Chain A
Amino acid sequence: MRFSVLASGSTGNSIYIENDEHAFLVDAGLSTRKLEKLLGEVGRDMKALDGIFVTHEHSDHIRGLGVTARKYGVPIYANEKTWKAMDGLVGNVPAEQRFVFDMETVKTFGSFDVQSFAVSHDAADPMFYIFHENGRKLVLITDTGYVSDRMKGWIREADAYVFESNHDVSMLQMGRYPWNIKRRILSDVGHVSNEDAAVAMSEVVSEKETRIYLSHLSKDNNMKDLARLSVSQTLETCGIRVGEYVHLFDTDAEQPTELVPV
């Protein structure tokens, strides 16, 4: 399988995953026009999409969902509570395009197994996805206040991770966000910090080549260089030598990452 993080951050999220037979998006948090452009930049077309998996109903994950669904007739997958929460947010999605993807289940699309798992986030019933194909494993996990042992169980020993590294704690504390927003971000149902993400990573990676994409970076309370420094130094204190078998990659709010095989 191959994947590209089309866009990542609080301005909009979408990840593209494909193999030789199927093509999917996880979330459509940007306008349809932007999604078309981003997908075009990795040489792919919206018309080829076989489905969109929705993680939760926050606008940075579903902004372009309704229009994309109607324009391209793509099947949309989300769990029951998320469907209910999206009501009125995405406009009309035709009944034949609405599919329910239950929490902690697996759906099979040809050689793809797509697995859903719960995260801790202030949405109706937030869940993320793991893609399996031919023994290879791609884990997507952002929008979670922390990484629980249960989550660690699901995401262990993947070949690639799209991992949230949302904020730097001290930058957030010093920054000019109002207190209630700071509290939300730092809470168990907000977002995971650079250090906490790194500690979780250190507990789930195995000693094989692993690509980790640092994602959903806060625009005001983080920076790519800071996230990379912070994650790599924390990983190193946890005994993982970055650059040997664990490799860190940036994602961007406006530019897709290279479409690479897992």
Chain B
Amino acid sequence: MDWNKTKTIFIIVFAILNVFLYSLYVNRYTEVKRIDVQGETKIEERLKMDGITYPKLPEIETASFASGEVWVFDPKEVKDAKGQTLRLTDDRGTIVGVPKEPVSIKGEDGKLDFGGLLDKYVKNGSDYKLWKADEKKREAVFFQTIDSLPFYFNQSSTLTVHWNEALEVTDYQQRMMDEIVLFNQEKDLFPPIQAINALYSRGYLKTDSTITKVEMGYSPLVQLTKTQVFAPTWHIHVKLNDGTSEDFFVNAVDGKVLDKLPEQIIEEDG
């Protein structure tokens, strides 16, 4: 056998093999890179492609956790009530008020206006912010706020108002928190666009829906013996194509999508 010839053949075969392997490698490499690039498509663009729009996002970068204690109403306050009759529940945690004179909630252009009730009848009424008014059920739900940020679906700080056909308040039920403090340590927040992304990537946002509101508030986190602790929370309100709307909540510190808040479930069951 001609050893020289054999050697040449070997060299040529290996050279071809090398070229082949190299081309395989290059292909793989660019493929991987392409996938990477696709993965990096900005959330903004992906939302656009799915027809999901959102408003100008809040520019809050840090926030504190908050804590509060359940307010226990004073029976004396109930007895001395003017212009309304008040009743306390056994645990003194809920007050039920019935105005003696009609209090109208009829606002301009057919809108509801609860200003009169909140100002004159409800204790610390200006701290409550309207969450939802259901005109069919004739019921409105308000959440207590701190620095105008609401405590979402926190049972111990909601106000519920009912009215009659003439748009006059029939009664209201109030629970209140007291000793609300913000924790000293400010935490860096999960940016609102990332909160939207968290919803999007879990399939919560349907195509062609419109995010109409992104707001900051608080959601219940921990219940201590006396005190409740709240986490900064993004509230994202979404209008769907069919006219219905949905509300989502994302923990603004760790980006976790909150399952339905406990009271929200209760409300739906009830």
Q: Footprint of B on A, CB under 8 Å?
A: 168, 170-171, 174-176, 220, 223-226, 229-230, 233-234, 236-237
Contact = CB atoms under 8 A, between A and B. Distances in A.
Contacts of A225: 65, 67, 183-185
A234 B221 contact: no
A171 B67 contact: no
Nearest to B66: A225
B222 A168 contact: yes
Contacts of A224: 183-185
B225 A226 contact: no
Contacts of A233: 224-227
A229 B224 contact: yes
A229 B225 CA distance: 9
Nearest to B185: A223
Given A171-B221, A229-B229, A233-B227, 11 more contacts: A170-B221, A175-B256, A176-B256, A223-B65, A223-B183, A224-B185, A225-B184, A226-B183, A233-B225, A233-B226, A234-B224
11 contacts: A170-B222, A171-B222, A174-B221, A176-B254, A176-B255, A223-B65, A225-B65, A225-B185, A226-B67, A226-B222, A234-B225
A229 B256 contact: no
Contact of B224 (A220, A223, A230): A230
A224 B227 CA distance: 15
Contacts of B256: 174-176
Nearest to A169: B222
B225 A237 contact: yes
Contacts of B183: 223-226
User: Chain A's interface: helix, strand, loop or mixed, by majority?
Assistant: helix
A175 B254 contact: yes
Given A223-B65, A223-B183, A223-B185, A229 B227 contact: yes
A59 B225 CA distance: 35
Nearest to B64: A225
Contacts of A223: 65, 183, 185
A192 to B, nearest CB: 17
Nearest to A237: B225
B221 A229 contact: no
Contacts of B224: 229-230, 233-234
A129 B255 CA distance: 40
Contact of B229 (A175, A226, A237): A226
Interface in B219-237: 221-227, 229
A41 B65 CA distance: 30
Interface of B: 65, 67, 183-185, 221-227, 229, 254-256
Contacts of B67: 225-226, 229
Contacts of A174: 221, 256
B161 to A, nearest CB: 32
Contacts of A236: 225
Interface centre among B185, B224, B226 (most CB of A within 10 A): B224
Q: Which 5 residue pairs across A and B have the least CB separation, nearest first?
A: A225-B183, A233-B225, A170-B222, A233-B224, A230-B224
A223 B185 CA distance: 8
A229 B179 CA distance: 13
A115 B224 CA distance: 35
Given A174-B256, A237-B225, A226 B184 contact: no
Contacts of A176: 254-256
A237 B225 CA distance: 8
B256 to A, nearest CB: 6
A157 B185 CA distance: 32
B223 to A, nearest CB: 8
Contacts of A237: 225
A234 B256 CA distance: 28
A225 B185 CA distance: 8
A233 B179 CA distance: 15
B134 to A, nearest CB: 30
Contacts of A171: 221-222
Contacts of B229: 226, 229
A220 B231 CA distance: 13
A239 to B, nearest CB: 13
B31 to A, nearest CB: 30
A176 B65 CA distance: 17
A231 to B, nearest CB: 10
B75 to A, nearest CB: 25
Contacts of B65: 223, 225-226
A225 B223 CA distance: 14
A236 B184 CA distance: 22
- The winner among A175, A225, A230, A233 for most chain B CB atoms within 10 A is A225
Nearest to A234: B225
A144 to B, nearest CB: 22
A27 B17 CA distance: 58
Contacts of B254: 175-176, 220
